[in-house]
Structures are given as C-alpha cells and as structure tokens.
Structure 1
Amino acid sequence: MSSPAVPLFRFGIIADPQYAPIVPHVAMDRQYANSLAKVAEAVEVFNSWELSFVMTLGDVIDRSFSSFDDILPIYDRLRHEALFLLGNHDFSVSAAHLAEVAARLRMPSPYYSFSRHGWRFIVLDGNDVSIFAPPEDHPHRVLAAEMLAELQEKGAANAHRWNGALSDGQFAWLGDEIAKAAAAGEKVIVMNHYPVYPAGEHGMWDSERVVALLASQSHVVAYLNGHDHVGNYGKAGACHFVNFKGVVDTENQNAFAIVEVYADRIEIRGFGREDSRTLVY
C-alpha cells in the first residue's frame, strides 16, 4: 500500500530568536539583533504555505521586557495563528514583569493544550520550577534551589541555573492530558522549551520522569523543543524527540521548519540550518 501523498495538516516551528538590540556575543556566535530580520524572513515563508499555526518554542527575547515590543509586531504579519511557549530567557526581565510574560505572549496560561485535526498538542512550561521564573519567595523557587543543589552535588550534566523542571501539579496535568487524548482517539505532540531526551546539559531537571511517561504511551508521537541551539534528535519508546536549532545563532543563516503531519509519518522540512527529518509512527 502506497504512503499517502497529501499531509493531514502542516504547522510552522521557530526556536530561540532570543532577540535583543545589543552587540553580538562573538564567542557563542549569537547575533541577537539579527533575529528581527530572521523572524521576518520565516514569517514570509510561512505565509506562502497553508499552515494550521506557527509555534515558537521559547526564548522570543534575550533580555528586557521592552524587547517584546520590537519582535512581537513581526509575528502580527503572519496570516496564521501565532502560538508561544515560555523559555528561560523570556524571564530575563525585571521582577516586576515576571508575572506578565505569559500574557505579553498572548498565551492562555503558562501551560495549555489544544486540538487540531484529531491531534492533541500539549504545551509545557519547563520554567515552572526554576530559580528565575516564579515570583520571589514562591515555593517553586525554593524547591528549584533545592533541586539544583542536589543535582550539583551529584555532578549532573544538567545542573545549571538556566534549566528548570515541571511542578508535580503540571506533571499530573500532563498525564491527564495524555489520558484524555487516548480516550478521544487523538495522537499527541508535546512541546516545551527544554529537551528531555537524549540526556545532556540543557535537559530539564526532571527529564527522566517525563521521558518515562511519554515513552510508555504509544499514541504520544513526538516531543518538540528548543533551548539547545545546536539541535538534537533521539527516540525513546515510540516517541520521537526533536530539538530544533536556534534562530539567534550565526550572522546570516536562519533556522526554522515546516512540520507536515501524514497518516503514517511526520515530515520536518528544515529551512536554513534546520535539518529535514522523517519521523515514522
């Protein structure tokens, strides 16, 4: 039997624009100001395709709440729905603005789900337990400091201040969403800023429990993330884990993708530095 030639639907992906009106970080090859032009180029390409939505996988800005005023109007040029999730750099703002970040990105809440064409998209907030996103003195910030100290003592590769974890409440919600999708006959794609697999220095602090959950559910097809700007790929159980490359890196090369969902596979069509991949399910 031949494979279907027409996708069920398509969506766009951008990761880590990390825009700021500042000079480049030459050693890391991060060209913060150039992200305005790169996102504009991606928007132009996306507008030439029929897409269900465009998701940015976190780190819209590098620092300063006012940077949202420069980059978000570029997303307004999209003829598609622009969706966002929260990255660590999105919280590199003054304490007074911490509670406003999700609303500024027009998100319904810090983590949420939505359905398209019989698929459920589960959008996580990997900054839920972190030392930078919760308000000062919030129990999640206290818990984050404890988790980080414990990981540092073990010499864990991901024991970094710029990573985070899901709260137990959000992890339970993730399990509920996956169960509801199964009951509704929906396949699942999970999206988050942070990688969880393969393990590495950019991984969420509680990656192991997330991977164990996703890999045990046959209807969970893919987990899409940013954060590690060089990109990565792995597979655990039936779930494909795809780390998209960062827009902010390099002076001129862009990195974004169009994801085409078929009845038997997902085709990732990479643009610029982004890799093209076929994920069979």
Structure 2
Amino acid sequence: MSAHPVFRFGIIADPQYAAIPPHAAMDRYYANSLAKLAEAIEVFNGWELSFVMTLGDVIDRSFQSFDDILPVYEKLRHESLFLLGNHDFSVSAGHLSEVAARLGMPSPYYGFSRHGWRFIVLDGNEVSTFAPPEGHPHRALAAQMLAALEAKGARNAHRWNAALSDAQFTWLGDQIARAAAAGEKVIVMNHYPVHPPSEHGMWDSERIVTLLASHDNVVAYLNGHDHVGNYGRLGGCHFVNFKGVVDTERENAFAIVEVHTDHIAVRGFGREESRTLVY
C-alpha cells in the first residue's frame, strides 16, 4: 500500500446545534456542538486538507441557530463545504428556500473535482415531507412514497427519511459517466445512508446502490444521519456512515480521510472509527 496520500479532507457529521437543553434519553447535547466543532476545527487546522465537508444537520432546529454555529466555521483555514440534512429544514416555512444559500452552497446538489477525483454531493431531502415549499409537487410525491413504504412495512418508512427526484438521480448517473470518461474516481456524499439497509436509509436506496455498485470508478459513498455509524461494501463501493457530533455530552466524532493511489484511510477522532478502504 502507498505510504503517502495524494490528498486529505476532513469530515464532520450531524453537529445538530441548537441552544436547547439536552435530550438525555437520546444522549444528544445540542448546545455542546459549538465547543466540539471548535475542537475539530483546531485539529483540522493542524493538517494540510483540500477541504472539510459537513455531512448535513448543521442545526437541530430554528433558522437562527445558523447564526451561532456558522461563525465557528470561520476559524477553519481550509475550504468549508456543506450538504443538506433533514434537520437543516427544521425552520419556519418562510426560510425553507433559504437554507442552501445560508450554508453558502452553490446549489442544493453539486459536484467538484480534486486531484483527479470527482466528488458528487447529493441533496437527499429533495423528495420529502419537510424540505420542499408548501404545495410543491415533491411534497405530494413524498407522501405517496412514504405511504407505499408503510404499506409494505419497510423499515425505512419514516418521515425523517426522503428520496432523490428522478432528475437528480439522472444527474447522478451522468456525473458518474462523465467522471469515468475523464478518468476520475468518484466519491459520493449525502446526508442519508443507502447501504447497508437500515431504518435511516433513503426511500429510494435500492436504485442508488444499484447505480453506484455498477460503476467501477465509484469508490466510496460517505454519509451521516444514522448517529451510531455503520459500514458496508457492495461491488467495489465502500459505504461509510459517520457518527454524529451531537451525541454524548463530551466525546467528539470527526475524521480525516486520506486518499491514496490504492486505498482510502479514514483516520477517526473521538468516537469515530478508523478504517482502511482498499480499491
């Protein structure tokens, strides 16, 4: 295995900050995420990183929560990137359309390249009962999908899960194909897990997993949402679910991902596990 990485990036999942008391039964300490995030950033600043990605759920609730937590990211000396989680939409109806812009995102889903790798950033909330504006067709579609899953007794039939639109799913396939044509390996990032199957999985996990596992250039899928973490592999794709920052009173959870020519090394800090992903 190669000793020196081509590049590194940082990962944070589910800070879920809010200025509210802890939820003891769930072991979630929402207000403590400010200090944990500051600690993670201090570690990240000691490394050479291409960027730091937060895998959704920056806040737990209230649009004003962004005013408290986003200034903490300003201490980061690296590029800070975001994707959208379900709790990021726990805001008043008037703010739903403003969340991506508040996080400085170019659009709700997007892609970028680094060192010959293509990163595809999904918006897993697009078809949901909470993210689209009131009256949007995606809300009605989400209600239909959820009802169908409930009727089947599906384990992921929950209102806090969601699906990609057909348009975004087509875009994902197109991005993978373009990366292959350009000789780029692919890492997909999303808030929600898709594999192994779980109660936190996206409603359309099956079609996403089938797509990713069918392309040789797709190396990894990174997500949050399920705060206990998880890992699986299908075909040549590694599926890594990172643990939530918000959980536990004091223990942190974040990672530095080192991309090598023949493997990816996940260096876990705090509760996060370290892993070697060979490709």
Q: TM-score, normalised by structure 2?
A: 1.00
1:131-184, CA deviations, whole angstroms, 9 ceiling, x for partnerless residues? 000000100011000000000010000000000000000000000000000000
Which of 103, 116, 119 is the equivalent residue of 1:118?
A: 116
**1:151 corresponds to:** 149
Q: Which residue of 2 aligns with 1:208?
A: 206
Q: Match for residue 244 of structure 2?
A: 246
Uncovered stretches (5+) of structure 2, i.e. residues with no partner: none
Distance (whole Å) between structure 1 residues aligned to residue 185 and residue 41 of structure 2? 27
**Residue 24 of structure 2 aligns to a residue in which SS?**
coil
Partner of 1:259: 257
**Distance (whole Å) between structure 2 residues aligned to residue 65 and residue 96 of structure 1:** 10
Match of 1:67 in 2: 65
Partner of 2:3: 5
Other-structure match for 2:179: 181
Q: Residue 276 of structure 1 aligns with which residue?
A: 274
- What SS does the aligned partner of 1:209 have? helix
Query: What SS class does the counterpart of residue 26 from structure 2 fall into?
Result: coil
2:130: which partner in 1? 132
Amino acid corresponding to residue 85 of structure 1 in structure 2: L
Give the 3-state SS of the residue equivalent to 2:36 in structure 1. helix
Spell out structure 1 runs of 4+ moving beyond 6 A.
none
Which residue number in structure 1 is paired with residue 106 of structure 2?
A: 108
Structure 1 residue identity aligned to 2:227: H
CA distance in 1, matches of 2:139, 2:169: 17
What is the aligned counterpart of 2:228 among 227, 230, 240?
A: 230
Whether 1:169 aligns to 2:167 is: yes
Q: Which amino acid aligns with 1:157?
A: R
**What is the CA distance between 1:4 and its match in structure 2?**
1.8
TM-fit CA distance, 1:5: 1.1
> Secondary structure, in 3 states, of the residue corresponding to 2:40?
helix
Per-residue deviation at 1:25? 0.3
Q: Secondary structure at the match of 1:153?
A: helix
Structure 1 Cα separation of the partners of residues 112 and 95 of structure 2: 26
**C-alpha distance after superposition, 1:102-153 (max 9, x if no partner):** 0000000000000000000000000000000000010001100000000001
Distance in 2 between the 1:89 and 1:150 partners? 24
Q: 1 CA distance for matches of 2:3 and 2:166? A: 42
Letter matched to residue 80 of structure 1: H
Q: Deviations over 1:37-86 (max 9, x none)?
A: 00000000000000000000000000000000000001011000000000
The 5-angstrom pairing of residues 26-105 of structure 1 reads 26-105=24-103
Structural RMSD (CA): 0.3
* SS of 1:27 mapped into structure 2: helix
In 1, Cα distance between equivalents of 2:193 and 2:89 = 18
Q: Distance in 2 between matches of 1:6 and 1:159?
A: 43
User: What is the TM-score when the length of structure 1 is the normalising length?
Assistant: 0.99
Gaps of 5+ in 1: none
SS in 1 for 2:269: strand
> Alignment identity in percent?
81
